[in-house]
Amino acid sequence: MNLRICATLLAYFACTVEVAGYDLDDATADHQAYAIMMSEQYGDVGAAIKSFRAAVRFNEASATWGNLGIALQDERNPDRQDPQRWLAALREAQQALTKALALNPHNHHASQNMQQNRQLLDAAELEATEEKDYYGVLGVEEDADEKVIKKAFRTLSKKYHPDKQQGGAGLSRAEAKKLFDDTREAYETLSDAGKRAIYDARGVKGLIEYRKTEGQRDMWGNAVSSIPKSANIEQYTHVSLDTLYSGGETTYTWNRKRVCRICRTDPRHERCRKCQRCPDQLEMRREIMNGMIVQRQVRVASEDYCRTERKTLTAVIEKGMPVGHKITFPYAADQEPGHAPGDVVFHLHMSPGGGDPSGSGFKRVGDNLRLDVDITLKEALVGFTKSVKHLDGHTVKVTAKGVTKPGLVREVHGEGMPKHNYPSEFGKLVIKFNVQFPKSLDSDMRERVLAWPDRL
Ligand SMILES: [Zn+2]
């Protein structure tokens, strides 16, 4: 009770001093003393800030500016209740602390609080950020593809270009510039698959959070991201050798889960008829149990609505892709509230039978192909011309003029697999000749063979 009376008296005194213009140092000291008391004993940080502000008007000392900065960033500052006012208070604190350090670089108290203020300021900027509807700005549906988004951007950026405004009935230059900037901002996010995924999951605030950690790596060299990513879809795809030779496509169709953005603003939209509350989310909560802080996973009902859509992805199998190759569609997997979606990854595997279901006999060894070719004993001795049907149907002529020993291997350059990423270059076709001996000779054949010279 005594303290309260004392504070009231001091407040009165401080006020009087200010008005009367007494000795300035005394006035500063009084304002400071009053402020410190209000803050420490009564927890009235709002009154303390007012007093510190008065004190710095009288005396520009490093400690005074430092105290003002520290009081402004105090969580009990009444401005904390409103995101915009809190942001302004922290900006003022930043200026006050900067001044304190300019006046005295050794003010450790101020330099420590400067760091803390930077963090609070970052968080407050995030909190005060207004959400934006980038899809609405471009006038496209939320599932619009890249082409549609690009086209909308081109049309609108021409329409709103500040230099193209004729005045009169049109937009003012300032209005046009605002719309032009909004259009560009929306396009920069929606044209980048990664940024778009984060925006879809966490909005503009998610993008700000992401930018802060972008490019940062932890001590193991892994990318640090503040946005969790939901699971990938790993799709194992069997491909045949002739598809890998000529190139082709493979598709994957599933019911993709989407977090509905329309539901957030317009739940009665006709496209939201089938939207349902998203599955519960698991959150880590810190709780105090028996005096110890423990982390506990809790199930929380989602605030978002989800729907499913039939989605087909078509992966292009390029000529000469190696087995085990992965084709990745970034952020194309199911969406989950608060998460950036995972990727859809196609893993290329050879279909059974070495990828040769049509029985062509070709086997792949890296960029080369192997083929066994049967020849008769006669062909082995006197030569032959053979036509081999290749994987894409073209024929390769193989000729031998002399004797071909059993198991002889011949390499045909340029008839192997196309090289991935250099499809005009090909590996080798390695042909092994197997001489097929007759199972038996009839008497006529035997007579003829007996007539051969003994050297054979
Ligand atoms: Zn919906």
- For every residue of 348-379, DSSP letters joined together read EEEPTTTT-TT----EEETTEEEEEEEEEHHH
Rounded distance from Cα 258 to ligand 1 centre (Å): 9
Rounded distance from Cα 146 to ligand 1 centre (Å): 22
Rounded distance from Cα 274 to ligand 1 centre (Å): 7
For 131-159, give the DSSP string. Answer: P--HHHHHT--TT--HHHHHHHHHHHHHH
So what's the pLDDT on residue 169? 53
Q: Are strands 422-436 and 368-376 parallel, antiparallel or unpaired?
A: parallel
Place of tokens 């953005």: 261
Q: In whole angstroms, what is the distance from residue 411 CA to residue 431 CA?
A: 6
So what's the pLDDT on residue 24? 54
Rounded distance from Cα 285 to ligand 1 centre (Å): 29
Place of tokens 């006046």: 103
Rounded distance from Cα 210 to ligand 1 centre (Å): 25
Rounded distance from Cα 260 to ligand 1 centre (Å): 5
Q: In whole angstroms, what is the distance from residue 357 CA to residue 123 CA?
A: 60
Question: Is 125 within 8 Å of 109 (Cβ atoms)?
Answer: no
Helix or strand run (H / E) with residue 407: none
Rounded distance from Cα 273 to ligand 1 centre (Å): 7
Q: What is the pTM of this model?
A: 0.66
CB atoms within 10 A of CB 10: 18
- Which contacts of 321-327 are long-range, i.e. CB under 8 A and separated by 24 or more positions? 321/244, 321/348, 321/420, 322/348, 322/366, 322/420, 323/244, 323/348, 323/349, 323/350, 323/355, 323/364, 324/348, 324/349, 325/420
Question: Is 298 within 8 Å of 281 (Cβ atoms)?
Answer: no
Rounded distance from Cα 142 to ligand 1 centre (Å): 11
Rounded distance from Cα 339 to ligand 1 centre (Å): 18
Rounded distance from Cα 181 to ligand 1 centre (Å): 28
Close Cβ partners of 217 (under 8 Å, ≥ 6 residues apart): 223, 224
Phi, psi for 84 (deg, rounded to 5):
-70, -40
Rounded distance from Cα 305 to ligand 1 centre (Å): 6
Rounded distance from Cα 275 to ligand 1 centre (Å): 5
Rounded distance from Cα 259 to ligand 1 centre (Å): 8
So what's the pLDDT on residue 4? 46
What the block records as the tokens of 53 is 């502000």
Rounded distance from Cα 265 to ligand 1 centre (Å): 9
So what's the pLDDT on residue 226? 67
Q: In whole angstroms, what is the distance from residue 331 CA to residue 163 CA?
A: 37
Rounded distance from Cα 190 to ligand 1 centre (Å): 20
Question: Is 154 within 8 Å of 139 (Cβ atoms)?
Answer: no
Rounded distance from Cα 40 to ligand 1 centre (Å): 50
Close Cβ partners of 60 (under 8 Å, ≥ 6 residues apart): 99, 103
Half-sphere exposure of 388 (CA within 13 A, CB side): 25
Rounded distance from Cα 359 to ligand 1 centre (Å): 51
Rounded distance from Cα 72 to ligand 1 centre (Å): 42
Instruction: Report CA 215 to chain centroid distance, whole Å.
Output: 12
Give me the helix-helix angle, 62-72 and 24-41, nearest 10°.
Answer: 30
Rounded distance from Cα 271 to ligand 1 centre (Å): 6
Q: In whole angstroms, what is the distance from residue 187 CA to residue 184 CA?
A: 5
Helix runs in 214-330, H state only? 241-246, 262-265
Closest CA to 390 of 372, 366, 411, 416: 416
Rounded distance from Cα 366 to ligand 1 centre (Å): 49
Number of residues that this document lists for the chain? 456
Rounded distance from Cα 365 to ligand 1 centre (Å): 51
Per-residue pLDDT of the chain (456 residues; tens, 9 = 90+): 344 444 444 444 444 444 434 455 666 777 777 888 777 877 888 888 988 888 888 777 888 899 899 999 998 899 999 989 999 999 999 999 999 999 999 999 899 999 899 989 988 888 888 888 999 999 998 888 899 999 999 999 988 887 777 655 577 888 888 899 999 999 999 999 888 988 888 888 888 888 777 767 767 766 666 678 889 999 999 999 999 999 999 999 999 998 888 887 788 888 888 899 998 888 778 777 787 878 888 888 888 899 998 999 999 999 999 989 999 998 899 998 888 889 999 999 988 877 776 778 999 999 999 999 999 999 999 999 999 999 999 999 999 999 999 999 999 999 999 999 998 999 999 999 999 999 999 999 999 999 999 888
So what's the pLDDT on residue 168? 52
Close Cβ partners of 242 (under 8 Å, ≥ 6 residues apart): 358, 360, 391, 392
